[in-house]
Every structure is written in structure tokens, then in C-alpha cells.
Amino acid sequence: MKYFDYIDEDLRSEEVSIKDIAKNIPTPFYCYSANAFKNNFNVLKNAFKDLELKICYATKSNSNLSILNILQKEGAGVDVVSAGELRKSLMANISPQDIVFSGVGKTYEEIEYAISNNIFQINVESVSELSAINKIAHKLNLVQQIGIRLNPDIAGKTHKNISTGSLSDKFGIPFDEVEEIFLNREIFSNLNIVGIAFHIGSQIHDIEPFQAVFKKTNELLKKINKNEQVIKVLDIGGGYGVDYENNNEEFPILEYADLVKSSFDTNELTIVIEPGRYLSWNTGALITKVLYIKKHGNKKFIITDSGMNDLMRPALYDSYHKIVPVSKIKNTEKIPTDIVGPICESTDKLLSTSEFYDVKEGDLLAILNSGAYGSSMSSNYNVRPLIEEILIDKDTFSTIRKRQSFEDIIVQEIEL
């Protein structure tokens, strides 16, 4: 589904022209469609319509409070990976009983904060972490529900930097150790260890890796649940691939939902999913201005006012984002072209292409499909401010995060 498209010459989202936003807001800025989040959530919800499951949005993909508010109203829970994400989710009125806390390196303070807030489940990634949570829960005189994150040793057939399911990755606990944990679960007097969790990676387009991990997990479930229903919660992660390249590579979500239903005893198990990108990727665009154009021999550089500090994915994962002009341009130029940012790094490249629109200095460009892992991964590198975020809702647009001022950036520094 396209949430940014041209009407006549103008790029629009919902009923708002991006050009009109840029008349009021200095570039670069992110803008999102509120209704895109709602639609994406409901596509997922409908795919699982006859199954009661917890859809826990991976807030790391985009954790703006207004966006969490939208998803909360649609009925989403969240998957968080830090006390910061947890605090924001609670501020957005996500019910604690709809929150799972993942991550390989939770601190004492983060665990204490999570337990005190009575969250649904902490997904644990090592035996040492399990002992630490037990001690903290004991001190608080509380019992915490726990999921054990498996490392299934199955790679998600994706970019090596976003694969998480192999033994060579830092995530999860190997299968044989997981069985041990369940056998000895009584040792952990302040933990209710009833869950299994996994997440094998991101941008997975095929159903096969999921089939493989479901099969392996089922064998483990059968062993552990042989005499009594010990495992009651199954958190099957996220990772559903989206079609950045526009290659007709839509994730087969209905087939996936059928696979979940046919693989597991859903009457006995509460199923949790943790989609991030699937809900947020195409909801947003990064709007930037062309500052300068230059040629080095037969190579053209289009230099924009937005770079890898605003959108890190191309530099980090070689990922592709389609870039289009905000006001339609008919002519293109066939010449090797790099669209680059202002950051002092050669990897600060937003796109390499053999042909691009014949843009002029001062033109506006939209870096599409930047709703996921865009703003949430941005940084102050080169002492550049975090940029403004705008939410479009039908024919209105509002600021949902202000651009940082220089004073905001410098306020924590202590000059000796």
C-alpha cells in the first residue's frame, strides 16, 4: 500500500501536500501518515482475525509518543528493549499487561523498573540474567512472568547485520540449555517461567525459516509440556519482510498466519507477535533539500541537507530507499549519481543510481519508506540536531517532535 503518492504534480500523503508542509517547516524533517499506521495494524489484525493474540509493536522501529498513542488506540501492545522505551509506552497508556521486554543486556535498574510496573513478560537471554531477575523480584517481593528466548540456530535468510537466530549471534539461549532451565525452574522462586520466545531476524521474505523454527520449537514444546502445560505463552517475534525495492515481494502474511495456527496448539498457548517494520516502514518519508550539485568527471553528486545521522539504514545495511522529487520532475539524467548527505563519512550515501531526476539546487526530495528505523536510529553525529517530526492526519499536519536546538544538544556537557 502506498501512503505517499502524486496527485497532479504534487507529492501528497493523505490530503496534505508535502510542499505545503515544507513552506512552514525547515528541512530536513520526517513526516508520517497517521492512517497508514492504523491501516497497517488492521491488516495484521485481520490476518489473525480468528485467533486471540497479542500484537506487541516493536517500538524500536519508531517510538514517537504520538505514534505509540495511535497504535495503543488500535489495540496494540508493545515489545520494548530499554527502560526508555518502556517509559514511553507507559506514557502512551499501553497496558503493562500488553508489554514484553526483550534485549540481551538489561541493567539492574531496567529490570527493577519493569518488575515494579507489573509488565506482562520479560524475555530472558541468559541464565545469568534469569538469576539477576529472580534476585530483584525477590527483593521487591513480587513474582515476574518470564519467557525464555531461544536461539534456534536458524538464520533468517537476510542481511548479516539483521540476522539474530544463529548460534554465532549474541541473542537467545541454545535449545539444550532451555530444557534444563524448565526442568529446574523451581529454583527461581520469584519467577513464573511460562514462556518461550524467539526472533530470528528482520526483513525475512520467505516462509521457510519460520516453518523451520516453528517445527523445532514445537518439538521442544512437546517435550517440556509432556506431563503438564508448563509453557503457556509463545512469543514468535517479528521480522516480516517489506518491499523496499518494489519487487512484488510482499510478505505472505495470510500464509504466515495459517502456519502459526496450524503449527501450534493455540487453544492452550497465548501467542505473541512483535512486528516492527511491518507496521511502520511505509508510513513515513524523510523530506530533504538539494543543497548543491557537482560532477567529478562522469559522476554526479547531489548533496542534500539530510544524511546518515537522520537515516542510518543505507550506511548501516546498504539498504535501498526510493527517492522522489516532492514536485514532479519529468526529465531524468542518465549518469552515475550518488545522492549524499553532509556528514563527513564516505558511507553517508543515501542512494547510488545510474539515472536520476534532473533536480536543481533548492529542490525538495522525499526519501520514501523511512517510517521504520529512521528517526529512532538517528543521532547527533557531527553535532547536528535531531530533526522535526510531523504527523499527517487527513487534511491536517502537526509537529510531533520539535527539531532540537543547539542548546538542547549541548545542555548535558560540562565545560572544564
Ligand X SMILES: Cc1ncc(COP(=O)(O)O)c(C=O)c1O
Footprint of ligand X (CB under 6 A): 58, 61, 79, 102, 199, 202, 237-240, 274-278
Least CB distance from residue 139 to ligand X, whole Å?
27
> Per residue in 63-97, is it b (16+ CB within 10 Å) or e — as a string?
bbebbbbbbbebebbbbbbbbebbebbbebebeee
Active site residue 344: yes
Residue that has been written with the C-alpha cell 517500538 in this structure: 59
Least CB distance from residue 107 to ligand X, whole Å?
17
Instruction: Name the residue nearer to ligand X (CB basis): 134 or 163.
Output: 163
Least CB distance from residue 391 to ligand X, whole Å?
20
Least CB distance from residue 221 to ligand X, whole Å?
19
Instruction: Name the residue nearer to ligand X (CB basis): 377 or 409.
Output: 377
Instruction: Name the residue nearer to ligand X (CB basis): 133 or 326.
Output: 133
* CA separation, residue 400 to residues 25, 29, 88, 103 (Å): 12, 11, 14, 27
Catalytic residue (choose from 7, 344, 414, 416): 344
Instruction: Name the residue nearer to ligand X (CB basis): 166 or 404.
Output: 166
* CA separation, residue 257 to residues 135, 157, 277 (Å): 38, 20, 17
Instruction: Name the residue nearer to ligand X (CB basis): 169 or 393.
Output: 169
Nearest to 99 by CA among 68, 129, 125, 128: 68
Instruction: Name the residue nearer to ligand X (CB basis): 14 or 243.
Output: 243
Relative to beta strand 349-357, strand 332-340 is antiparallel
Residue whose CB is nearest to ligand X in the complex, by number: 276
Instruction: Name the residue nearer to ligand X (CB basis): 26 or 84.
Output: 84
Least CB distance from residue 402 to ligand X, whole Å?
26
Q: Which residues are catalytic?
A: 344
